[in-house]
Structure 1
Amino acid sequence: MLLLARKTSQVGLHMSVAFAVTYAFTGSLATGGVAAILEPICNVVLLPLHDRLWDKLRPRPRAQAA
């Protein structure tokens, strides 16, 4: 239950920051709202791809010769 609360809080924070920054630059509630919705969706799609790329770049331990 604590993990769910933490993740929900993180999503809310991301949405709030996206809204606030976009609203500050544009002065538009609609544009801020769109950014607040799109930002978490983009994170859900892109972060696993980002993590896979870094996993591929991580050096692998070499097998020791007998």
Structure 2
Amino acid sequence: MSRDLIKTMTYLSIHLLVGFTVAYVMTGSVKIAGGIALVEPCINAVAFFFHEKAWKAGSWKERLAQPLAG
């Protein structure tokens, strides 16, 4: 198994554990916390996809490369 895949899987595990823990502490419900822990990463993946598309297509990239005026 590649190092990148292992790193991705361990990060996903941490993300799910943190999401579940936060949701459980806030709701006190294992069922709700489990649902949130599973749904949130899926929604986040879709949001990241569109973020990447916007980042690649954005004409504002050149402006970010310029030093800040001030």
TM-score by length of 2: 0.76
Count, aligned residues: 60
Q: Which has the higher contact order (CA 8 A, sep 6+)?
A: 1
> What stretches of structure 1 of length at least 5 have no aligned partner?
61-66
1:59 — aligned with what?
62
Runs of 4+ more than 6 Å apart: none
Alignment gaps of 5+ in structure 2: 64-70
Report the identity percentage: 30
Q: Give a deviation string over 1:13-60, Cα, whole Å, max 9, x none.
A: 111111011000000000110011012111221101112222313128
If you compute each CA radius of gyration, which structure gives the higher value, 1 or 2?
1
Q: Show the counterpart of 2:37.
A: 36
TM-score (norm 1): 0.80
